[in-house]
Amino acid sequence: MTNTTTPAPAPALALAPVLRMTRRRSVALIGAAVASATTTGLALTGCGSESAPTSDPSALSGHVQWMIAAYTAETQEWFKSTFIPAYNKERPKVNVTMNYAVDFNDLFAKRGALFAAGSGPEILQAGADDTVEYVKSKFTVNLRDRVAKWKDWADFYEVPKEATTYENHVTGIPAQLRPRALYLRKDMYDRRGVKLPTTWDEMRTAAVALTERNGTEVTIAGYAPGNWGYQQFFPMVWQAGGEMAQPDLKKVLFSTPQVIDGLRFWMDLLNQVQPPGNTLAAVPTGIPQIVHGTYASQVDAPGQLDTAIKRVPEVLDKLVVRPPLKKEKALSFFSTNWFCLGSQSKNPDMVWDLMQFFYRPEHLLQYDKSTSVVAPRKSMRTMDYMGDPKWQMSAWTEVVEKYARPHPPIVGIGQVNPLMTTVLADVRTGKKSPKDGVEELARGMQQIFDDFLKR
């Protein structure tokens, strides 16, 4: 395993067969042990420690370790065969080492160990739920002054820009957008003569009407009845008219009657669709229920359409993407992965040059296409797959522009999500009341925040 910034002879590229997108992981401590990694050395020409001004790209010289967790085998091949050779054509003395983490858990463990050793990566990936931690832990260079001079910055959607900014610190540049929207199987709605829902109450009516059972097996779920975590709880709070926490994390705000009533509404709805003891109909491996036709409604990201396009294209005209549901407000959870300039970089100008090259629309497009996400730049909304009607990108960009909210200020998501998953499961099974569940979540999250702020 090579996990330092010292370049070595390039090994063969090990392609990962699975998209690494999970955001559920433990927050790694700075002193975490370095986990096993697949580190790929590329373009190994020139390893100088100082960078020349970017007005002469050919004079740039140095090493960049780029840590990434959201990728596919297609992504890896593109970096190796296309992107890095294109960058090195005019910058032959820049050595770029791609460090492919197994997932975000792995990335954060490595990140902590590398920063503790004083050899933090020059570019590293994170997501909206990491913004506060990256600022407070000083992992990143504040890009505020750089983006102020970068004309391309105005082309990025505002919500992901807000999601990567905290206390006037521009933590990173958005690379992938994964908004959540409402998938509906229009064929099922039409067959039953059920109105497509726009509100919570309409969704409950539709979910009950469309659910079908064979004994204790739910053969069609009118609404996806899976267990909840933070990606479901946050938008519920917003749609109910609540807020998660103060920006300074000193006070959790969601323990209110409106949020308690909202949690009761959704736990009751899920139990109406799949009562305790009932099972869901099996689906083929790798095929989402909404695509297979065992769910009639589901809130999720664009990846479901990617599966339909590649594996079950005959259902594309039956799937529609709609805005989020409304109670007091119609707001959507919004996830963005971003790349930042590591604070221990010895060549920040050189690294920024590489980042600007990556974020050119023609390059960013290939990364986003390989990972089945919404592109973060407005000028890209009709480029290539973004303009393909099969992706329904007009619906996804509408969610980004009109309904998405920046990720709430949060830290310790690796502690928050297990707490939330456990408590919400207890509420759903009747072990806790909605009121007790919300109050326990508020106390637990406040303790997590307080412990972080003491570090």
What are the sequence ranges of the domains in the chain? 38-178+334-403, 181-333+412-453
Q: Which fold has domain 38-178+334-403?
A: D-Maltodextrin-Binding Protein; domain 2 (3.40.190)
* pLDDT score recorded for residue 83: 98
Fold of the domain spanning 181-333+412-453: D-Maltodextrin-Binding Protein; domain 2 (3.40.190)
Q: Report yes or no: 297 and 206 within 8 Å, Cβ to Cβ.
A: yes
pLDDT score at 372: 94
28 C-beta neighbours (distance < 10 Å), count: 20
> Which burial class, exposed, middle or buried, applies to 411 when counting CB atoms under 10 A from its CB (0-12, 13-18, 19+)?
buried
H-helix segments, 312-453: 348-358, 361-371, 393-398, 413-428, 434-453
CA-to-CA distance for 12 and 17, rounded, in angstroms?
15
Which pLDDT does position 54 carry in this prediction?
A: 60
Dihedral angle, C-alpha 80, 86, 91, 95, nearest 10 °: -10
pLDDT at 344: 97
Q: Specify which residues 62 forms β-bridges with.
A: 94
* pTM score over 0.75: yes
**Residues 375/153, Cβ–Cβ less than 8 Å:** no
In degrees to the nearest 10, what's the CA dihedral of 259, 265, 268, 270? Answer: -90
Q: Looking at residue 22, what is its pLDDT?
A: 42
Q: What is the pLDDT of residue 27?
A: 38
Contact 342, 122 (CB under 8 A): yes
- Per-residue pLDDT tens digits of the chain, which is 455 residues long: 333 333 333 333 333 333 333 443 333 333 333 333 333 434 333 333 333 346 788 999 999 999 999 999 999 999 999 999 999 999 999 999 999 999 999 999 999 999 999 999 999 999 888 999 999 899 999 999 999 999 999 999 999 999 999 989 999 999 999 999 999 999 999 999 999 999 999 999 999 999 999 999 999 999 999 999 999 999 999 999 999 999 899 999 999 999 999 999 999 999 999 999 999 999 999 999 999 999 999 999 999 999 999 999 999 999 999 999 999 999 998 889 999 999 999 999 999 999 999 999 999 999 999 999 999 999 999 999 999 999 999 999 999 999 998 878 788 888 999 999 999 999 999 999 999 999 999 999 999 999 988 87
Give the per-residue pLDDT at 229: 93
Q: Answer whether 38-178+334-403 and 181-333+412-453 agree in fold.
A: yes
Q: Are 12 and 77 in contact (CB under 8 A)?
A: no
pLDDT at 410: 85
Which H, E and C letters describe 102-124, residue by residue?
A: CCHHHHHHHHHHHHHCCCCCCEE
Q: Which residue has the tokens 């004994």?
A: 215
Using alpha carbons, list the distances in angstroms from residue 206 to 195, 196, 320, 348, 371. Answer: 7, 8, 15, 54, 32
